[in-house]
Chain A
Amino acid sequence: AQTVTQSQPEMSVQEAETVTLSCTYDTSESDYYLFWYKQPPSRQMILVIRQEAYKQQNATENRFSVNFQKAAKSFSLKISDSQLGDAAMYFCAYITQGGSEKLVFGKGTKLTVNP
């Protein structure tokens, strides 16, 4: 079964500090894509960062970066210089390539940013 596991239901970080959100997934596929989505209180789902499984280089988007460990099936999100606006639910997600693509989400991690 294709699953995505986020083991941290809640995390907190001080403003300007760095926090890492963990995500592991289970798949037998070799080609797939991984995403982190952010859901603020407005409930809109916002794409934060994505990673292609065939790329070894970790994706980076401004203050957001990932640590992608394909062998370990791990895809953690690092947020540097945390800002109050980063407070939200963060969802890790995974999608396979080919056939009937399906986006599988983790259960989410609630991030609190303390001033």
Chain B
Amino acid sequence: DTAVSQTPKYLVTQMGNDKSIKCEQNLGHDTMYWYKQDSKKFLKIMFSYNNKELIINETVPNRFSPKSPDKAHLNLHINSLELGDSAVYFCASSQDFEGNFGTYNSPLHFGNGTRLTVT
């Protein structure tokens, strides 16, 4: 059983389009994240949600909007795609955000990534 699953695995689209990447975790975790890995392999956090509430919102363009319908899902919507958005996007989850079992005690479980190519 896949713990954290992202779809699609590959996404090729043209500039200006709007696209979404879906993420689901079946671990019962309370916190979910989106990371962006650029062409130099550098991973950078974009968003973090805890129980459907936004916790971390790093400096990303407002064209990127996360949506969490429930705590098992965190989807990433991207409007007006640009060439610079091309990257691999990773979804992740962890047990808790606060308390004795915060994220530092329960490491991140990552999805397999979505390679987005904007042409």
Contact = CB atoms under 8 A, between A and B. Distances in A.
Interface of A: 32-33, 35, 39, 42-45, 47, 50, 52, 89, 91, 95-98, 100-105, 107-108, 110
B104 A32 contact: yes
Contacts of B27: none
A108 B41 contact: yes
Of B40, B43, B112, B113, the most chain A CB neighbours within 10 A belong to B43
B28 interface: no
10 contacts: A33-B105, A89-B41, A97-B104, A98-B102, A100-B55, A101-B102, A102-B45, A102-B48, A102-B56, A110-B41
Contacts of B115: 43
Interface of B: 33, 40-45, 48, 55-56, 88, 90, 92, 97, 102-105, 107-108, 110, 112-113, 115
A6 to B, nearest CB: 10
Q: Which of B33, B41, B43, B104 has the most CB of A within 10 A?
A: B104
A95 B103 contact: yes
A35 B42 contact: no
7 smallest CB-CB distances across A and B, nearest first, come from A45-B110, A105-B43, A33-B104, A43-B113, A108-B41, A101-B103, A47-B107
B44 A105 contact: yes
A110 B115 CA distance: 19
Contacts of B113: 43-44
Nearest to B108: A103
A97 B98 CA distance: 9
